[in-house]
């Protein structure tokens, strides 16, 4: 029996190592390709062990303003979107836990129904463009996915119900605190784990979002990092063209477009790699509370 289990353990390790390698391999290939000289990529293709290490692509990124600018756009959208979204989400979730609130069932249904039925892309797109005119404004990156899913409201509500004792809130009311004071000074500080969980999920969504840019943005000033990558994937010369306008004197032929694309992709996923260890716990929590009730 013991011997048999050793065989199983070895097999399990072997399978998991294979999977780990399968995950790491393309990522490593991407990183190494970003470090290879352009001429080598053209000659030998993307390779795991470049013949020469070369930082030209990264020099371009840091020397040339548009990548940095896209980065700032994405950081701004992620921070602002996440903050506003978390506040709005927690406020309505809290309202849905107030005992005896008249109209609570109706309110729950109003929120829940958005998860069941949706108008889809065409009406949303037409509405945002023709009624609210958000095309080519920063709002286009922030608003259409603000409360991307009522599901976050549901899990936050459940958390409040299970973790915030009504007695504390009652005694705070006795002490004359306002309802807003109670919410911001008592409820939220007691809910750090769920705030971190939904905050991380929303930040991830904003950081990785490129569809809003695809639908609504043509202005180069408002292109975030994922959208920039998207534009470069379909058009390798995108950066050269966008630079023409800003830097007339640049020799566009010298831009290492293949390795540069890879380098921007590396820069695009870097924050996730760096932050991931700190947020893994909350990420996993989001996945387990999430999967069934969703």
Partner 1 sequence: MKKKNMLKQVKRYWPFYLMALPACVYFFINNYIPMGGLILAFEKYTVSGGIFGSEKVGLNNFKFLFQSSDAWIMTRNTILYNLAFIVFGTIISILVAYLLHELKHEMSRKVYQTVILFPGLLSIIIISYLANALLAGDTGYINMHILAPLGLEPVSFYSEQKWWPFILIFIHFWQMTGSNCILYLANMSAIDPGLYEAANLDGANRFRCFVNITLPCLVPTIVTLTILSVGKIFNSDFGLFYQVPMNSGAIIDVTQTIDTYVYRGLMNTANMGMSAAACFYQSVVGFCLVMITNALVRKFSRENAMF
- Taking CB under 8 A as the criterion, the residue among 3, 52, 53, 117 binding partner 1 is 117
Please identify, among the stretches 37-45, 57-65, 158-166, 243-251, the one whose residues bind partner 1 according to the rule CB under 8 A: 37-45
Taking the least distance from each CB to partner 1, the nearer of 48 and 254 is 48
Q: In angstroms, give the least distance from the CB of 273 to partner 1.
A: 8
Please identify, among the stretches 53-61, 119-127, 188-196, 240-248, the one whose residues bind partner 1 according to the rule CB under 8 A: 119-127
Taking the least distance from each CB to partner 1, the nearer of 166 and 250 is 166
Q: Does 144 engage in binding with partner 1 (CB under 8 A)? A: yes
Taking the least distance from each CB to partner 1, the nearer of 251 and 277 is 277
Residues 45-104 binding partner 1 (CB under 8 A) are: 45-48, 88-89, 91-92, 94-96, 98, 101-102
Do residues 283 and 272 make contact, with C-beta atoms less than 8 angstroms apart? no
Q: In angstroms, give the least distance from the CB of 254 to partner 1.
A: 19
Quick one: tokens of 186? 């008592």
Please identify, among the stretches 59-67, 107-115, 188-196, 238-246, the one whose residues bind partner 1 according to the rule CB under 8 A: 107-115
Q: In angstroms, give the least distance from the CB of 249 to partner 1.
A: 29
Q: In angstroms, give the least distance from the CB of 59 to partner 1.
A: 20
Question: Nearest to residue 200, comparing CAs of 275, 93, 134, 104?
Answer: 275
Q: Give CA–CA dist 211/227, Å, rounded.
A: 8
Q: In angstroms, give the least distance from the CB of 128 to partner 1.
A: 9
Q: Give CA–CA dist 169/153, Å, rounded.
A: 20
Q: Pattern 209-248, binding to partner 1, x per CB under 8 A?
A: xxx--------------x--xx--xx--------------
Taking the least distance from each CB to partner 1, the nearer of 62 and 113 is 113
CB atoms within 10 A of CB 151: 19
Please identify, among the stretches 156-164, 190-198, 200-208, 239-247, the one whose residues bind partner 1 according to the rule CB under 8 A: 200-208
Taking the least distance from each CB to partner 1, the nearer of 19 and 247 is 19
CB atoms within 10 A of CB 239: 23
Quick one: tokens of 25? 């391999």
Residues 257-286 binding partner 1 (CB under 8 A) are: 258, 261-262, 265, 268-269, 272-273, 276-277, 280, 283-284
Query: Degrees (nearest 5) of the Cα angle 262, 207, 237?
Result: 35
Q: Does 118 engage in binding with partner 1 (CB under 8 A)? A: yes
Residues 179-198 binding partner 1 (CB under 8 A) are: 179-180, 183
Q: In angstroms, give the least distance from the CB of 29 to partner 1.
A: 5
């Amino acid at each position: 029996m013991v011997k048999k289990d050793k065989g199983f353990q070895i097999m399990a390790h072997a399978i998991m190592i294979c999977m780990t390698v399968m995950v790491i391999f393309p990522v490593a290939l991407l990183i190494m390709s970003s470090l290879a000289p352009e001429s080598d990529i053209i000659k030998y293709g993307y390779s795991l062990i470049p013949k020469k290490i070369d930082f030209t692509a990264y020099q371009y990124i840091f020397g040339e303003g548009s990548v940095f600018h896209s980065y700032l756009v994405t950081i701004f959208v992620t921070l602002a979107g996440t903050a506003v979204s978390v506040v709005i989400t927690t406020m309505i979730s809290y309202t849905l836990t107030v005992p005896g609130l008249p109209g609570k069932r109706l309110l729950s249904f109003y929120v829940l129904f958005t998860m069941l039925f949706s108008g889809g892309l065409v009406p949303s797109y037409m509405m945002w463009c023709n009624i609210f005119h958000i095309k080519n404004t920063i709002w286009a990156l922030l608003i259409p996915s603000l409360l991307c899913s009522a599901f976050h409201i549901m899990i936050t509500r459940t958390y409040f119900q299970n973790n915030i004792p009504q007695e504390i809130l009652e005694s705070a009311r006795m002490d004359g605190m306002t309802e807003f004071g109670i919410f911001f000074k008592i409820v939220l500080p007691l809910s750090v784990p769920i705030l971190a969980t939904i905050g991380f999920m929303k930040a991830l969504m904003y950081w990785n979002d490129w569809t809003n840019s695809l639908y609504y943005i043509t202005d180069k000033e408002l292109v975030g990092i994922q959208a920039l990558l998207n534009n470069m994937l379909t058009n390798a010369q995108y950066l050269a063209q966008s630079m023409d306008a800003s830097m007339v004197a640049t020799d566009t032929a010298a831009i290492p477009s293949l390795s540069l694309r890879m380098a921007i992709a590396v820069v695009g996923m870097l924050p996730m790699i760096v932050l991931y260890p700190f947020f893994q716990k909350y990420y996993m929590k989001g996945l387990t509370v999430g999967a069934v009730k969703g």
